[in-house]
Copies of this chain bind each other. A is one copy, B any other.
Amino acid sequence: MDQLALLHTLVVPNTTKIVLLVMDGLGGLPMHPGGPTELEAASTPHLDELAARGTCGLSTPIAPGITPGSGPAHLALFGYDPLRYEIGRGVLEALGIGFHLQANDLAARGNFCTLDPRTGVITDRRAGRIPTSECARLVEKLRSIRLPDVEVFLEPVQDYRFVLVLRGEGLSDGLTETDPQRTGVPPRPVEPTRPEAAHAAALLNRWLEEAFRLLADESPANGCTLRGMAKNPGLPPMPELYGMRCGAIATYPMYRGLARLAGMDVLPSGSTVAEEVDTLRAHWEAYDFFFLHVKKTDSAGEDGDFGRKVQVIEEVDQQLPRILEMNPDVIVVTGDHATPALWKSHSWHELPVLLWSRYALADPVDRFGERACMAGGLGHIRHLDILPLALAYAGRLTKFGA
């Protein structure tokens, strides 16, 4: 029996409330030997106080040495084994713009690009980063393309990016991307990597052919590429699995999409951490489980900006008392993965996790930081362990076996 099936059999109703506060890319590293990490450098009196009252540890998002993308890392936090449920880039993009994918939809991420009109080779993979308004105009033009036996949806995303979704029977994933990832060569055709994907490959190639014809007189976006073709992975929805009303608060489209994929309601929110906490308060009675996502820790890490990451962590710390005032029964604070400013990218490192409930044993950890959490009562866990622990501490799981 896998974890989901086991948990599902153990679920009991309760009125408790769980908050999962995720600082994207939280984990960090010292910029110089002997220095602090971002979280260690930040002044976090409220997180430290909560750490002192709760139980802490370090968590591995996927497996030792594996650096996760945002999709798998969040799936693990939501209790889905990311090695079993894979999420393609096309699906993430579609969900991120609020597109409601149906079970058999096939989604692709599209990029407008610039082709040499004479040779057909790509001269700019992002078409000079055209503005979103231009993207929308081109998408409207391409919406005239019809394909046999399937519905075609096309939506602008941002700048040069769009989403293409095919809806119909017999669409399989297992398709190669058309973006050659470099200039000076033409876009590639879509090829099936397994026999059942041949139908979808043929449809996408036909769509591309018509798209190239319609874009031929445009400039600079006279071509496009398709990437990350993928089907909805069909996650069993969290509300059905756990009998909880699940609400998500996230400012970036991708994370709202991930939450929707897990069956959560996406709650409207402003973009600051304070506004996200306002949203939490506004919906406090209507939900049992809240996923609250803070994006800017990761963005700062990706930019190698240690100081800005410290500031975002401090901003979250300042909002923590407002969350605690609502009296959650369980609050978990962690990240989806590490994004050390030193590494300027997602990394494989373990990252701190803090769990407070009145039933959590306070461990000796009285600071929320990478090294302090090494001595924590949770020890070294995996992200996939976090949701079951939160459910248990919230009194939402009965015992296994007699």
Contact = CB atoms under 8 A, between A and B. Distances in A.
Contacts of A267: none
A367 interface: no
Interface in A289-325: none
Contact of A361 (B37, B387, B390): B37
Most central of A67, A86, A391 by chain B CB within 10 Å: A67
A29 B67 contact: no
A392 B67 contact: yes
Contacts of A137: none
Contacts of A388: 63-66
B377 A374 contact: yes
Nearest to A230: B402
A348 B33 contact: no
A371 B379 contact: no
A399 interface: yes
A349 B7 CA distance: 16
Copies of the polypeptide in the assembly? 2
Contacts of A364: 371, 374
Interface residues of A, number: 68
Most central of A7, A69, A361, A380 by chain B CB within 10 Å: A361
Interface string A53-78: 10000100011111111111000000
A130 interface: no
Most central of A10, A37, A67, A400 by chain B CB within 10 Å: A400
A399 B359 contact: no
A65 B348 contact: no
Nearest to A3: B63
A201 B347 CA distance: 52
Interface stretch (A87-95, A120-128, A274-282): A87-95
A30 B30 CA distance: 36
Contacts of A89: 402
Nearest to A377: B374
Contacts of A189: none
A362 interface: yes
A67 B392 CA distance: 8
Contacts of A350: 377, 379
B69 A400 contact: yes
A228 interface: yes
Interface string A1-44: 10100110010000000000000000001100110010000000
A398 B362 contact: no
Nearest to A66: B400
7 contacts: A33-B53, A64-B385, A65-B391, A67-B400, A347-B359, A361-B370, A379-B379
Interface of A: 1, 3, 6-7, 10, 29-30, 33-34, 37, 53, 58, 62-72, 82-83, 86-89, 92, 228, 340, 342-343, 345-350, 359, 361-364, 370-371, 374-377, 379-381, 385, 387-393, 397-402
**When A and B form their complex, which 8 residue pairs have the shortest distance between CB atoms, in order from nearest?**
A65-B388, A379-B380, A69-B401, A65-B392, A64-B385, A72-B401, A89-B402, A67-B399
Given A87-B401, A92-B402, 7 more contacts: A29-B361, A33-B53, A62-B400, A343-B359, A348-B397, A363-B374, A379-B379
